[in-house]
């Protein structure tokens, strides 16, 4: 239960610190065979430097304002797919949709080049502030690494865990 949720905090650490934090999580792991299997999987897939998805691909400290989701590409594909009402649209329809998307993207690029900020939702701003405040506490030594990943893991846990 709760122990699994702490793993979501690992992505808020610099890649070089993820291995140590993973070890910290192992130190509080419940004595359960499924937890051991999960930890082995995470180690082999995400933590080990020779893993398929090493920490430098998915972890960064919050001082870098990188998007932490794939919502942008997912939104694009959803919007793109909704433009067609048949599984195999005519090529002219596809071209028309692509030209419209290109125009929308030019407008977005122009607004970025003119430093027109994209409005953020209050919820997003509050989450960023929370992460930054928690990072500052960790950096100053007010909270331990384990407390840091616990705090952020609980805040950013998945909506449903199996």
Q: pLDDT grade, residue 44 (50/70/90)?
A: very high
Q: Is residue 134 part of a domain?
A: no
Copy the structure tokens of residue 127. Answer: 């989450």
Q: Is residue 133 part of a domain?
A: no
57 and 11 within one domain: yes
Which of 70-74, 77-81, 92-96, 112-116 is predicted with the least confidence, judged by mean pLDDT?
Answer: 70-74
Q: Which domain holds residue 10?
A: 2-61+143-156
pLDDT, residue 77, reads 80
12 and 36 within one domain: yes
55 and 76 within one domain: no
Say how far apart CA 48 and CA 13 lie, in whole Å. 15
pLDDT digits (tens, 9 = 90+) for 115-136: 877 778 888 888 889 999 999 9
Q: Is residue 100 part of a domain?
A: yes
57 and 76 within one domain: no
pLDDT digits (tens, 9 = 90+) for 101-116: 999 889 888 888 888 7
> Structurally, how many domains does the chain consist of?
2
Say whether pTM exceeds 0.85. Answer: no
- In DSSP notation, 143-158 reads S-HHHHHHHHHHHT--
Using alpha carbons, list the distances in angstroms from residue 24 to 20, 56, 142: 6, 19, 17
Q: Is residue 131 part of a domain?
A: no
57 and 6 within one domain: yes
- pLDDT for residue 30 is more than 60: yes
Q: Is residue 119 part of a domain?
A: no
Q: Is residue 79 part of a domain?
A: yes
55 and 10 within one domain: yes
44 and 82 within one domain: no
Q: Is residue 150 part of a domain?
A: yes
6 and 57 within one domain: yes
């Amino acid at each position: 239960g709760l122990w699994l949720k702490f793993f979501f905090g690992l992505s808020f650490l610099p890649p070089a610190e993820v291995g140590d934090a993973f070890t910290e999580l192992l130190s509080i792991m419940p004595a359960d065979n499924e937890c051991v299997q999960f930890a082995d999987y995470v180690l082999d897939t995400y933590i080990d430097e020779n893993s398929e998805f090493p920490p430098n691909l998915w972890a960064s400290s919050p001082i870098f304002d990188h998007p932490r989701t794939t919502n942008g590409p997912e939104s694009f594909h959803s919007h793109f797919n909704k433009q067609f009402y048949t599984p195999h649209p005519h090529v002219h329809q596809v071209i028309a949709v692509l030209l419209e998307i290109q125009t929308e993207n030019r407008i977005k690029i122009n607004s970025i080049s003119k430093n027109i900020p994209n409005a953020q939702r209050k919820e997003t701003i509050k989450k960023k502030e929370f992460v930054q405040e928690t990072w500052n506490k960790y950096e100053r030594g007010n909270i331990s690494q384990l407390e840091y990943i616990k705090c952020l893991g609980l805040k950013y846990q998945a909506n449903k865990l199996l």
